[in-house]
Chain A
């Protein structure tokens, strides 16, 4: 059970880091020579800490961690530069930002539901 909360908090911190990078890109959209910054995909973060879901019964669904967070990481388009600015694509950053919003809403909803499950179990 705690594994779910661990992953949730890890993803929460990752999403905050992503939001910060997005804020940086948007603020520096007009800075000459600024290069769009990106974060490491969450998939890679999860792989790094070796947190794996295991199936303890044959009836369990196949656990695939890579499907837990498949965040496509678009790389900045090469060579596209704005007038007097860096290579930041504002629309794309806004799109990514709303993605962060949606993911975090899902994240907190999962945490809440697990929290209520733990409370139910504790009450008996």
Chain B
């Protein structure tokens, strides 16, 4: 019963770690592709990806784990710049650039790292609680 709660804590913190690392991964993808354009005239550039967090009840432990919902495309408009001669330029010389804001992605990575650290801290503390429990035996 008691250890049950501790192992549930470990499962929850673990789910938090993987959710946050996936978030950082998606933000990094957006960041890396912030200038990826199409190759043919009028082609669409890279589209920013958005992910959302979701709760999921783990049947084994009854713990409320955190999971990643669907990764979806950001439907906000693309940036348009006039670069005649670019492979992806249309008849007017306009090129569609990805709808990625580098600052927003950086801030998202920073927040993801902070949440990751918080989950790590929980893992550490649960381990400490287990050590204290075992120490009762070492009189």
Contact = CB atoms under 8 A, between A and B. Distances in A.
Contacts of B115: 26, 29-30, 90
A27 B52 contact: no
B6 A19 contact: yes
Contacts, number: 111
Interface stretch (A42-50, A73-81, A101-109): A101-109
B109 interface: no
Interface residues of B, number: 39
A16 B5 contact: yes
Contacts of B6: 16, 19-20
Find the residue from B53, B63, B121 having the highest chain A CB count within 10 A. Answer: B53
* Main SS at interface, chain A: helix
Given A23-B13, A26-B13, A108-B135, A101 B125 contact: yes
Contacts of B2: 12-13, 16
B121 A94 contact: yes
Interface in B12-41: 12-13, 15-16, 19-20, 23
Interface in B100-139: 111, 114-115, 118-119, 121-122, 125-126, 128-129, 132-133, 135-136, 139
Q: Give the interface size bracket for A toward B.
A: 35 or more
A21 to B, nearest CB: 9
Find the residue from A28, A32, A105, A108 having the highest chain B CB count within 10 A. Answer: A28
Interface in A91-124: 93-94, 97-98, 100-101, 104-105, 108, 111-112, 115-116, 119
Contacts of A13: 1-2, 5
22 contacts: A12-B2, A16-B3, A19-B5, A19-B122, A20-B6, A23-B9, A23-B12, A26-B13, A26-B16, A26-B115, A26-B118, A27-B13, A27-B64, A29-B118, A30-B23, A30-B53, A30-B115, A31-B55, A32-B52, A85-B53, A97-B122, A101-B129
Interface of B: 1-3, 5-6, 8-10, 12-13, 15-16, 19-20, 23, 52-55, 63-66, 111, 114-115, 118-119, 121-122, 125-126, 128-129, 132-133, 135-136, 139
